[in-house]
Amino acid sequence: MWIVTHRRLQEARRLEHDLRTRGELPEGERLGLVRARRDQREDWAAFTLFVAVFSGLDAYVSAYLADFDRHVRLAPTDDGGLRLEWRQPLP
């Protein structure tokens, strides 16, 4: 989506340039569409960064907990909740 938004930003900048060339947009004034597309591109960049960081943290936690004691688990309850179970075998 970032690439699509970047293309749309370029189209908006071309439109702004065309309007300015024809005299329909005063010099120094920005087209609102350009601002909106730039904001969208920044939003997608931030979202992509967030997903990458979150995925990395998830992978780290999964690797760290790979050898976690299997006697501890979450189990669903009949009323839709969760129950924490811990089972310890007796010697």
Q: What is the pLDDT of residue 88?
A: 78
Rounded mean pLDDT, 26-46: 91
The closest of 46, 20, 18, 16 to 33, measured between CA atoms, is 16
Q: Is the pLDDT of residue 64 over 90?
A: no
pTM for this predicted structure: 0.60
Backbone angles phi, psi at 65, to 5 degrees: -95, 10
CA atoms within 13 A on the CB side of 48: 9
In a domain, 43, yes or no: yes
Q: What is the pLDDT of residue 77?
A: 92
State which residues form the domain around 79. Answer: 2-86
Rounded mean pLDDT, 21-49: 91
Q: What is the pLDDT of residue 69?
A: 66
How many structural domains does the chain have?
1
In a domain, 49, yes or no: yes
In a domain, 9, yes or no: yes
Dist. CA 14–CA 77, nearest whole Å: 59
